[in-house]
Amino acid sequence: MKPTVLIIDDALFMRRVIRGILEDNGYDVMAEAASGIEAMRILHEHTPDIVILDIILPDASGLDLIKSIIDTIPSAKIAICSALGQDAIVKKALDLGASAFIQKPLSPEKVLSALAPLGK
């Protein structure tokens, strides 16, 4: 069975790029969200295996959403995806419960290598 993924990013273009990479490589993108509110609504209806989460959203910080996602779906693996690659932000995301970090700009290699340890 293909791992299911929820992509949370406010940029439509970025969601499409990530979706393409994942679907071309055996993942099932079950939903996309452009905001924290939309993401939490989806998470109350679906149970993805992996959540790809941008740090900067129009209505929330991705860092703040990590706890909410874990509380809602404890089994979900979270991969932070952001251009903000400062060590302090990456460390905080991982300390909060994220399992991986994907640095923007994206490439298929970056996405797939970050997700590989999360299971496929």
Domains of the chain, CATH where assigned: 4-114 (3.40.50.2300)
Nearest to 99 by CA among 1, 30, 5: 5
In 3-state terms, what secondary structure has residue 43?
Answer: helix
- State the SS3 of 48-110: CCEEEEECECCCCEHHHHHHHHHHHCCCCEEEEEECCCCHHHHHHHHHHCCCEEEECCCCHHH
Q: Tell me the three state secondary structure of residue 117.
A: helix
Which tens digit of pLDDT belongs to each residue from 30-86?
999 999 999 999 999 999 999 999 999 999 999 999 999 999 999 999 999 988 777
The structure tokens 């299911």 sit at 4
Query: What pTM was computed for the model?
Result: 0.95
pLDDT tops 90 at residue 112: yes
Beta bridge partners of 4: 28
